[in-house]
Amino acid sequence: MRTPREHFRLVVKYTPFHSRTVAANELNLWHRWRDYSVADAYFDVSLEYTALRNTCAVFDISPMTKHRITGPDALAFMNRLVTRDVAKIKPGRVGYAVWCDEQGQVVDDGTIFHLSPGVYRLCSQERQLDWLHTARLGFDVTVVEETEDVAALSLQGPTSCATLCALGLTGIETLTPFGMRTFAFGEAELLVSRTGFTGDLGYELWIDPAHAEALWDALFEAGNLYGIRPLGTHALDIARIEAGYIQAGVDFLPADHAIRADRTRSPFELDLAWLVDFSKPHFTGRRALLAEQSRGSRYRLVRLDVAGNKPATDAYVYDAKRRVVGTVTSAVWSPMSKASIALASVAMPHGAVGTPLWAEIYYQKELKWNRTNVECTVLAGPSYDPPRRKVTPAPMR
């Protein structure tokens, strides 16, 4: 039985929170996120960002691609799919993961939710149904996409725990990072995970779309005393670059999109070596990654502290001899460190921690374009990583 052909009349779909995000979007700024439109900004990018770092802010992550993997071989299947050891992600836990093609190039990154024994949810940036079905051969698993079946909000910031307590989620403060727990929300079940894309204390809330609007309303009521604000993509982007998180299609090209050779990256080349576990059973890309490990990588992802106050957007990266060695993939002015920071992909052997690189930045002031060459310091880790992100019990403000 095919779904109705009339779907084409609604080119861009509404997320389950649309009635609420529309009301909150004072600027009426939207952009496309696959099937849906989501807010660029709601009232002021700077103030939204400030709410995220100072109180708490809500981002609608419903368009994120979600797949459910179940069946007797679910663990074995997941372990063959991704580079990390999924056996270590116990029921009730979440793990960040990447998966590769057979050439060891990253197809996508995402989070694995071990919902209950043998039941996984894979959240990702890209659609993976074809890839998962191809990988399913020989495994007794069922793979279904559930993007539309789950509404989700990301609540991030120092008062996010307090807001959830006010919402009545008793004991939420004891939830450890990358843990998850279910609560009753009216007649619905609310799944809460201590996860996010901001590098801050924060949670993601997962619920049946039928209860989405009620959740939004209850959350904003609960957060009223805790400075809750809606958060648009622009403000989120500042936070994720501060946290040093990479984004598919921005900091790396998903391998299944690459038309030109040499455009893709391996986990090693994205500073994700910690996600590759050669001691676990075979996984896709293992042989290629072993070869890369012995041969050496082509590229390195670096987190840069860029001198001066100009964001190094789209900048070429040079070595000390003025040779181009890479490009900036994400750049932003970091309000928390009062520094221009960037993520860049540079050719090996450049970009070792502590070595100098240079960025050629084009910027304009009142329509006049200027160019500047500034020194960059390669950082050992993210430029912003507050202790509250990891502390349990979670702080209340």
Tell me which residues touch another protein (CB under 8 A): 2-3, 5-8, 11-12, 32, 34-35, 103, 127-131, 133, 145, 256-262
CB 45 within 8 A of CB 237: no
Comparison of 10 and 367: residue with beta carbon closer to another protein? 10
Give the nearest distance from C-beta 8 to another protein in angstroms: 5
DSSP 23-52: HH-TT-EEEEETTEEEEEESS-HHHHHHHH
The phi and psi torsions of 343 (rounded to 5 degrees) equal -110, 135
Q: Where are the beta strands (DSSP E) in 270-395?
A: 299-306, 316-318, 324-334, 339-347, 356-365, 368-379
Give the nearest distance from C-beta 198 to another protein in angstroms: 27
Give the nearest distance from C-beta 4 to another protein in angstroms: 8
Comparison of 108 and 200: residue with beta carbon closer to another protein? 108
Give the nearest distance from C-beta 261 to another protein in angstroms: 4
CB 62 within 8 A of CB 36: yes
Comparison of 141 and 243: residue with beta carbon closer to another protein? 141
Comparison of 90 and 257: residue with beta carbon closer to another protein? 257
Q: What is the C-alpha separation between 376 and 378, in angstroms, rounded?
A: 6
Give the nearest distance from C-beta 128 to another protein in angstroms: 7
The phi and psi torsions of 349 (rounded to 5 degrees) equal -95, 15
Comparison of 129 and 352: residue with beta carbon closer to another protein? 129
At 284, list the tokens.
């896709």
Give the nearest distance from C-beta 65 to another protein in angstroms: 10
Comparison of 2 and 365: residue with beta carbon closer to another protein? 2
Give the nearest distance from C-beta 362 to another protein in angstroms: 21
Q: What is the C-alpha separation between 125 and 247, in angstroms, rounded?
A: 8
Q: What is the C-alpha separation between 132 and 395, in angstroms, rounded?
A: 39
322: left (phi over 0), alpha (psi -120 to 50) or beta: left
Closest listed residue to residue 298, CA positions, set 331, 325, 272: 325
The phi and psi torsions of 395 (rounded to 5 degrees) equal -65, 155
Give the nearest distance from C-beta 118 to another protein in angstroms: 22
Structural element, H or E, at residue 110: strand 106-116
Comparison of 11 and 380: residue with beta carbon closer to another protein? 11
Comparison of 103 and 337: residue with beta carbon closer to another protein? 103
Q: What is the C-alpha separation between 188 and 180, in angstroms, rounded?
A: 16
